Amino acid sequence: MSRLEEEMRELREQLSKLASKVEKLEGAEQVMSFGHHPGPPEPIASLIRMLAERLPDKPDAGMAFFGGIQEKDGKISSSYFSGHDLESMMTCSPKRIASLLSPFSSEQRISILKTLVKGDKSSSELSQATGLEGGQLYHHLKELALAEYMEQRERGIYTLTEKGQMALLTVMAMASTLEKRVTTEEVEATFWESRKEEKTREQT
């Protein structure tokens, strides 16, 4: 292969990669947000473009990111941001995911976490805010402590951990975005129809 042919080949490869990146960026521009907005606000759109540039150079690739910031007394008290590519996320075991999300399967524990996100609370303050008393309250506090979402700083005073704050804010943001759009009846009807079709195929 002559030097000119080699340079042309390299040029074609570079153009192909550039076209792929442009296609990703154009796709990112078209990303629509949930709700009634025509698209993400500019700061989010800029973030999406930045993440699109960092997607693996593969035909099928994905990335998810989450972050949050909280201010108290006029000062930023905490902030976090994390991004992961689809391939690495798929290696996360179902058991680990279920373990992390398990505390959020209880409305009572979510109420406790939402109370603690406002600041440290005593057991009596938590009881007053959530309506939980005695053994019922301590059962949920123990489960949250085992999940490392909450800890007891001093006797009878409970505080949200950094891990707990990240988990709570992320889950609340997801809940605010992924609100239920289908009824139980619609889901049951769909599965019932699918089951009838399966039985018909089995009989034929």
Does residue 109 lie within any of the structural domains? yes
Residue 151, domain extent = 91-178
Q: Which long-range contacts (CB under 8 A, 24 or more apart) does 95-101 make?
A: 99/147, 100/147, 100/167, 101/171
The overall average pLDDT reported for the chain is 79
Q: Three-class SS of residue 17?
A: helix
Does residue 85 lie within any of the structural domains? no
Q: For 79-110, write each residue's pLDDT tens digit.
A: 777 777 788 888 889 999 999 999 999 999 99
118: domain CATH number is 1.10.10.10
Does residue 132 lie within any of the structural domains? yes
Alpha-carbon gap, residue 52 to 44, rounded angstroms: 12
Structural domain total, the chain: 1
Q: Three-class SS of residue 54?
A: coil
- Per the DSSP assignment, residues forming a β-bridge with 121 are 158
Does residue 140 lie within any of the structural domains? yes
Q: For 100-154, write each residue's pLDDT tens digit.
A: 999 999 999 999 999 999 899 999 999 999 999 989 999 999 999 999 999 998 8
Does residue 28 lie within any of the structural domains? no
